[in-house]
Structure 1
């Protein structure tokens, strides 16, 4: 066992380690979710024992129970958590919960999506060694965070469809999860796939704080949600107006956006918000990997490859003044139209993009020197989708190897490589590799895959 891999080390300490594939998910019970909500003395815990989609008989009585036949369903657990004061936990034991109750634009979790309104926060945690699926059945989005902070761990969100029910409302945003103003979320060791919305096929957030770590977003869609639709945006993630988005050690791939002449159409789409992305991959998407408008962006050990375009960064000085772009130890390679399109309209914009970066077509503006490798073949291998967190490894003769910053990755210096690569392995001291993963990192099978 690699003692420098934080995932394995935690598993070993908790006695849960049984191999990195299926043994990966027990970590969800001992990291941030457990530290934030499970430790609260006032937290109530609800454990569904039925896959039926039925409502709670008496929300607020502290008992997760439907009318006869009496069972505890996921929807009933959410309704109890919403009605009780203090933080709450929903403990899941695997299997698939399918949301079958029809009805849009209802915000008490009675129909359609699961509306989360507990201002003290809610943790939805899968049990050790198990991943649990919540299936939206293409009727509505899956989770609607309307208050508080959501911790989601070891959960797979699929087939959410935020439908265009009312053009005056934000009904067609956030196919998997919608974060409303003033809310937040920590998504870890989880998957969002095959969700659809006009904006934010996987995730949509407005004036919220969202952290994604050690997770996958794959095959989510933006567009084709209604007759009034124009300019679909953010097949993976769409964030707007003051949202803080942080992505660590994650993989986003194979997303699809119905293209339009306008709009902020990246797989990760930002408007007047901020993005910090570390040791993560965006690959195989039909539009730009990241498209921002009037937003601050930090990319550290990013791999942006094989997309319709790489990074599109545009400022908007007339609305919110100057903005910043910071890139270190990152690779942009093999993107169809261009690796980068950086458009600055304000003399106050800050472009700090020189420091051990590589692009394959010379469009990112990386200056010679500073450890940069402009207009260089990255020699990346195809995306390894059998991995826990799919990634492009550098080929044995890749110029990315040992070409990162020589600073100690554990130093916390922003010029250094991010301490852990995408798979959770400690980066080498001396010179790390450019990109999301280190060459020679341990290759583990995908413990997220379902039978």
Structure 2
């Protein structure tokens, strides 16, 4: 699946006669959905909401420049096909303002979302009246690439005990995450970072510092009752629920800071120190990190989440090997780094 993802955006865009480019941070709907024009009401600009609505109606891709896009009118519905590409995580920020989730994908929807930050979502009733998935709620098909989902939640103060603080993939959902950071999300249910009830594949991603308040084992990082596969993925320092709950299919190259994900002993209970959130809304790894050169090069992406070339020889042993997680470490030429043994 990942090999196909490498050409998916170009394939989609080549079929489009026109790309809608958002030119306003206002949150206004399209004035006449289906007329082939991205013109919002009343400002007559191409807002994010108008582009998403019109893009689905006439099957055109959406480009979102750098900026903060606050969703004052609620989440963005995806019921058909949508290709949406930003300027990069940390640059294009789509914000639920803690009033609503950001994306709600119906069972008829297909969404390719790349190079954005999804932030400050709050799960409110959406498709099927479900109140899980603080940042993204998917009943259809989701491909999330080079993006961050952060600071989103299920608000327990209003009696919401659903799961998936950052993202919920429902029982009918199919989701693929590539070069994604899931960080700082929370829920009063299961799965502070990710709640998966359907089918999900996760590659070269970082799931860290999320929390679930339901129980000590409810999956601060991931709660799974469906089928989820991880490869070259870092699951670290999730709390109030541990890293994982449920069966995780280990495709290799993964690391966990505890033993709850079922990874091999040598890749569990690993002390993983991550940097604070950077300008790309990522969590950097540093010299001598156990994540450096510990991934598997098969299906490793050619770049990391921020566009850094992969793989690099981060531990200076003469062999360039993919790092674990969304971030690829580049050792300064003057830096002496001890070789890390797999």
- Per the normalisation by structure 1, the TM-score is 0.59
Q: 2:135 aligns with which of 173, 176, 188?
A: 176
User: Counterpart in 1 of 2:157?
Assistant: none
1:152 is aligned to 113
Determine the structure 1 residue equivalent to 2:335.
none
| 1: CA distance, partners of 2:9 / 2:93 | 20
Deviation of the 1:69 alpha carbon = 3.0
Q: Distance in 1 between matches of 2:277 and 2:121?
A: 24
Is the contact between residue 251 and residue 391 of structure 1 (CA under 8 Å) also seen in structure 2? no
* Equivalent of 1:288 in 242, 245, 252: 242
Task: Give me the whole-angstrom Cα distance separating, in 2, the residues matched to 1:191 and 1:203.
Answer: 11
Distance 1:260 1:410 in 2: 36
Match of 1:265 among 219, 223, 230: 219
Q: What SS does the corresponding residue of 2:54 show, helix, strand or coil?
A: helix
Deviations 1:336-375 (CA, angstroms, capped at 9, x unpaired): xxxxxxxxxxxxxxxxxxxxxxxxxxxxxxxxxxxxxxxx
Aligned to 1:332: 268
1:435-446 correspondence runs (5 A): 436=324, 441-443=329-331
Cα deviations by residue, 1:282-301 (Å, 9 ceiling, x for unpaired): 11211221211xx5612411
What's 1:45 paired with?
A: 19
SS at the partner of 1:310?
A: coil
The alignment's C-alpha RMSD in Å is 3.7
| Aligned length, in residue pairs | 308
For residue 331 of structure 1, report the CA deviation from its aligned partner: 1.1
Q: Partners of 1:131 and 1:116 in 2: how far apart?
A: 22
How is 1:119-158 mapped onto 2 (pairs within 5 angstroms)? 121-127=81-87, 131-146=91-106, 147-158=108-119
Match of 2:259 in 1: 310
| CA distance in 1: counterparts of 2:23 and 2:131, whole angstroms | 31
- TM-score normalized with structure 2 length: 0.76
Alignment counterpart, residue 383 of structure 1, candidates 246, 250, 274? 274
Taking the aligned partners of 1:74 and 1:419, their CA distance within structure 2 comes to 29
Q: For 1:140-289, list aligned pairs within 5 A.
A: 140-146=100-106, 147-163=108-124, 165=125, 170-180=129-139, 183-197=140-154, 198-206=162-170, 207-223=172-188, 232-240=189-197, 243-260=198-215, 264-271=218-225, 273-286=226-239, 287-289=241-243
Contact 1:303 1:435 in 2 (8 A): no
Offset of 1:32 from its aligned partner? 4.2
Partner of 2:336: none
Q: Distance in 2 between matches of 1:256 and 1:129?
A: 22
Q: Compared with structure 1, are the counterparts of its residues 133 and 265 closer, same or farther at alpha carbon in structure 2 (3 Å cutoff)?
A: same
Query: Which deviations, in whole Å up to 9, do the C-alpha atoms of 1:291-313 show, x marking residues without a partner?
Result: 11xx56124111111xxx53256
Cα deviations by residue, 1:78-116 (Å, 9 ceiling, x for unpaired): 1112322xx421111110110112xxxxxxxxxx11001
Separation of aligned partners in 1, 2:203 and 2:181? 11
In the TM superposition, structure 1's runs of 4+ consecutive aligned residues that sit over 4 Å from their partners are 30-33, 327-330, 386-389, 391-396, 409-412, 418-423, 426-435
Question: Could you tell me how far apart the structure 2 residues matched to 1:202 and 1:100 are?
Answer: 19
| SS of structure 2 residue aligned to 1:178 | strand
Instruction: State the distance in 2 between where 1:44 and 1:421 align.
Output: 27
Bigger Rg over Cα: 1
SS in 2 for 1:189: strand
